[in-house]
Each structure stands twice: as C-alpha cells, then as structure tokens.
Chain A
Amino acid sequence: MMDIAFYILSAIAIWSGWRVFRVDSMIRATFALMVSFICVGGIALLMSADYIGIATVFMMAVEMMVMGLFMVMFMMNPAGLNPMQMVHQYRLSIGAGIVAFIGLTVAVLATDLPHNPLPADRDTMRDLGINLLGGSMLIFETAGVTLLATMLGAVILSSRRGRFGNSDVGAVPPGLQPGGTPAGRKVEAGGGHGGHGGHGGHDMKIVKTPEHEDMGHTHHEMAEEKPAVSDAEPMDQRDHAVGHKQGAKAAEPLKPEHDHSPDPHKDHGNTPKKEP
C-alpha cells in the first residue's frame, strides 16, 4: 500500500517535472512544477515526516504562485497566455542536464543513506522544532535573512532597467517623431496599480496630481482619463478597459529606440525558469 502510493507519487512528480519543459506557457510550467513538488511533499508524508511534507505543499503553492506572477511580469508577456518556447540553448542545456543527472546519481549511490525506520509514535514534529530552534537556530536564521536580502536585492537590481530606460532617471517611452513628446498612455504617480501604491521613489511623469491621497481611486479614474498630450495616439476603448491591468500594452506598437529589455517575441524565453 505504502509502496504503491510511493510509486504513484514519484511517477506524477517525474511526469509533471518533465511537463515543465514541454508546455508552452509560463503559468502552466509554474504549476506543473508545483504539482511535482506537492508529490514530493506527499512522499515526505509517507516517510512520516508530517510537518515537512505538508509545509512543502503550502510553501510550494505560495511560492509557485508568486514565481509565476514574477515571471509573467519580467517577461512582459501579459497574462502569461502567449505561447512561448520554454527550452532554449539546446546543446548547453542537454550537456548541463546530463552532467547534473550523473552528479546526482553518483551522489545518491555514493551516500550511505540512513535506513532506520522510525517507531510509529515518535513525535517527529517535536524533534524538528527542537532542532530548528535549538542548536541549528543560528544557521537557519542566518540563511533566512540572507535569502530575504538576496531576493530583495535581485528584484531591485532587475527592476531598475525597464522597457524605456532606467526607472530612477524617469523611464519615458520615445516620441512618435524623433525628439517628439513621449508617446503612450501617461503613467500616474506611483505606477497606479496594486501594491506599488505608496512609494514615491518613482520618477514617472506625473500628468495630474491625484485628488485623493490613496492610489485606489486614481487607477480607476485613469481608465477614463484622456491622454494629456494631444498628438499621442488615441487608444481605442478596449485598450482602456484592459489598460490598467497591462500597463505596457498601450505602448506596445511603438518600437523603443533603445532596446534595453529582451523582446519577448524575438528572444523566446530568455529566462523561462527562476530558481524556486
């Protein structure tokens, strides 16, 4: 019974892991990876590591959700619906795959894996807690803070250089004529949508000072607002409706002169997978 469950979970884990590289959408790839990890969590449950197993499930669910959103945002593939190739640099990746497989296999075969079955009434959760907050606390806390700092740093570094130049010097789309006024929809202070609310560090062009302090109102009003620059290309109503969700879309037809960021159509999936 236990063995059957183990084989089923392993099979699903391997199959969904393989699907990560075969599907054509980042969201599908993300959740295929999530299914794979959840199956590994199930295997941990079978090994009566209750807490680790279930914690894996909920960590992975949250993590993959956030990862999927970040991939969609950084790849500028609105919604993650556009089909894209998830595999690239074939020769390098095949080589890396073979090397990693051999390395892991050697590591597994060479390690003297412990095989002492636990008694059924052993409180593994208590052992884990004592270990996490006892002798190893310093290690775990240091690792945690380091990882957090790394994540913040990575986001800050990678979000500085935007589609139309560095964000801290005022990223403005190029004009329709050379040297003309910036095209596209004007960005409200603070980026308008969602969690970008508070921080005033954005040097975006402020077209109109919002009447209300809070950003929530402004991003609804934004949809009705006419472009302040008269020669800017008028957008059709559909763009308005979708616009406040997919800010970059309004300016999409214009080719930026300085192509800072990878164009998703040209460069299929430069970084399709972020390390979990």
Chain B
Amino acid sequence: MSFAIALIEMLTFMIFGVFLAAVLDAFFYRRIAGRSGVSLLMPLYAAAAHLSRQRLTTEAPDRLNWFLSISGFLALGAIGLAVVPFGPQTAVIGMETSVVLWGACESLVVVLVFLHGWSPNSPLALIGAYRYVAIGLPIMLLSMFVLIAVALPAESLDLRAIVISQEGLWNVIRQPLGLPLFLLLGLSLTLRGPLDYGDSADLAGGTSIEDSGANRAGWQVARLAMLVGFSAVAASAFLGGYLGPVLPGIVWLALKTLTVMAVIIAMGHLLARMPVARMLGLIWKVLLPIAFLDLLLAGLVALP
C-alpha cells in the first residue's frame, strides 16, 4: 500500500516537474531573447504541434534502437526520481544501493544518447553521438567521485540514509565542491547549454535532428524527465531532500527540486559551449582533480 502511494506521488511529481521544466525553459529563453509573456499552455501547444505532425524517417534507420533510446531515456529519468525518498523511508525504489543504481542510470544515459544519434543513419546525428560520448563519459566519472563523497558521511550508499545524514548540516555546505560539479553532470545528462554536445544547435539538432512527430515529442519529454529526476537526486544528495521545518517533506523536496531545475535551465541558457577538445582538457585536467579533492576533503571530515 505504501508502495502504491509512493508510486502515485512519484508520477504526479514527474508530470508536474516535466510541465514546470518546460515552462521554465520557455521563460528563460524568452527572457534572454528580450521577449516577454510566457503562457502556461506553451508546452501543451508545442506537444500538440509535435504530435500532429507526421513522422518522417531516414534511409535504413535502426528502428528498434531508435525507439529503445527514446523510451529508455524516459525510463532512466523516471528511475532517477524513483530512488529519491519523498519522506523518511518512502522511496519507490528503496534499496541499499540506490546511489549506485543512479550511477548505473547515468552511464546508461551515455549509451542511449549514443544510440539515439547512431540509429537514424544520418551524419550530423552520428557526429553528435560520438561527441556526446567523448564528453559524457568523463563527466560521469566526475559524478561518481562526488557521489562517493556524499555517501561517506552517511556511511551508506542508500539515498534515504544520505538524506538523513544531512539533518544537522546539508551536504552543499559540508562539501562545497560537490554540488557545482554535480550540476555539470546535470547539464550533460539533460543535454543542455555548455555540455550539450549531443543535441546542440551547431549540429542543427545533433542526435535529434532526424526526430519528427511523436518521436521528437518523446525525446524532448524524456530530456525534461531526466532533468526532473536529476534535480530531485541533486536536491536529496546536497540540499537535504525532504528535510525542512513546518511544511510537509514532499513540498520541501519539490521546492528544492524546482530550485535545482531553475539553476540548471538558467546555466543551460547563459553559459557558452566550448569546443569539444578544450572541454575535454578542462574535464580531465581541472575538474577531475577538483573531484578528487572533494572526495579527499569528505574523507578527512568523515575520518574521526
């Protein structure tokens, strides 16, 4: 019974999250472009427009993998949200290794984005796919160290225990290097702004260039769902998740998730994208050592 309630909570959270993410995205875009006025119905119009268009296809695509990459991406976002506790001991997937499960989701994202670019049999999509793998893998390594650092004070790989361990002090203060590094992963997982090497405008849409109709709508929804899942994980791992005074836990979680989401979307619109090679250099030479430092500091703090 409690599982059913948690599942319903999660689905509601996801639907509202995706909707709000789409609205926020449109808001930031129009704000920066100097236009005003965001209607709450805009995401629905966009979805209706995509769904009513016909689905075009390429010559000799790999239809199975194409479909699997889109639906799998959506599923990974949902799994990300499912490991997040909505209150003490209520998570849809409550297991001892939920952080590792989230790590598995991260690595499968790289595979699925690659497949999404590979399957249409189209050059720009393929370039996007290879570029994404080159950046996505090292960024994922980064997040592994950050997540291990988060697990250290909790002495557990369970996200529920990690949230409980932040009762006195949130991890964002205890491990100041963690959240910024983790947000970079979010940009990469949701294919946004400075780390959008898969779907970027310089490749005319990259891996999603050949998506049309329902496929395109599905891929965009999957990206937003991944944004919601990621933001909820980040809010739980660094901002104390459902912890907070007065208001019920799930409201706190929603507020924190929304904050992370807004930061990610704003970063996506405001920061510039570097050339792939320079970004690779930055990740391997600068960010990865910083992630080691984060882990070292967390270990030293947790040692006594």
Contacts and interface: CB of A to CB of B under 8 A. Distances in A.
A141 B41 CA distance: 56
A195 B275 contact: no
15 contacts: A51-B97, A51-B100, A54-B103, A55-B100, A58-B100, A61-B107, A65-B111, A79-B118, A81-B121, A197-B281, A214-B275, A215-B277, A216-B276, A216-B279, A219-B277
Contacts of A46: none
Interface string A184-223: 0000000001110110000000000000001111011000
Interface stretch (B12-20, B122-130, B228-236): B122-130
Given A61-B111, A194-B277, A220-B275, A54 B97 contact: yes
A235 interface: no
A88 to B, nearest CB: 23
Interface in B91-125: 95-97, 100-101, 103-104, 106-108, 110-111, 114-115, 118, 121, 123
B167 interface: no
Given A31-B115, A195-B134, A241 B123 contact: yes
Contacts of B107: 57-58, 61-62, 65
Given A50-B97, A216-B277, A58 B110 contact: no
Contact of A58 (B104, B127, B276, B277): B104
B151 to A, nearest CB: 11
B100 A27 contact: no
B277 A57 contact: no
A159 to B, nearest CB: 17
B171 to A, nearest CB: 21
B274 A216 contact: yes
B239 to A, nearest CB: 24
Contacts of B279: 216
B261 interface: no
Interface string A45-82: 00000110011011001101110010000000001110
Nearest to B109: A61
B104 to A, nearest CB: 4
A34 interface: yes
B140 interface: yes
A195 B278 CA distance: 9
Given A54-B97, A216-B274, A34 B111 contact: yes
Nearest to A245: B127
Interface in B168-204: none
Contact of B276 (A69, A194, A241): A194
With a 10 A CB-CB cut-off, give which of A54, A80, A197, A242 has the most chain B CB atoms: A54
Closest 10 CB pairs of A and B: A216-B275, A58-B104, A216-B278, A61-B107, A216-B277, A57-B104, A215-B277, A58-B107, A54-B100, A50-B97
A54 B104 contact: yes
B101 A245 contact: no
With a 10 A CB-CB cut-off, give which of B65, B95, B108, B110 has the most chain A CB atoms: B108
Interface of B: 62, 65, 95-97, 100-101, 103-104, 106-108, 110-111, 114-115, 118, 121, 123, 126-127, 130, 133-134, 137, 140, 157, 274-281
Contacts of A54: 97, 100-101, 103-104
Q: Is the interface of A mostly helix, strand, loop or mixed?
A: helix
Given A27-B118, A54-B104, A69-B130, A198 B97 contact: no
A54 B281 CA distance: 30
A151 interface: no
Contacts of B157: 51, 125
Interface string A104-126: 00000000000000000001010
A69 B127 CA distance: 13
A28 interface: yes
A65 B100 contact: no
Contacts of B277: 193-195, 197, 214-216, 219
Interface in A157-197: 193-195, 197
B83 to A, nearest CB: 11
Nearest to A59: B107
A250 to B, nearest CB: 14
A123 B158 CA distance: 12
Given A31-B65, A65-B133, A242-B123, A198 B281 contact: yes
Contacts of B274: 216
Contact of B103 (A58, A123, A217): A58
A9 B100 CA distance: 20
Contacts of A50: 95-97
A66 B138 CA distance: 12
Nearest to A30: B111
A194 B134 contact: yes
With a 10 A CB-CB cut-off, give which of B108, B157, B277 has the most chain A CB atoms: B277
A62 B101 CA distance: 14
B114 A65 contact: yes
Interface in A113-147: 123, 125
Contacts of A123: 96
Contacts of B275: 214-217, 219-220
A217 B101 CA distance: 38
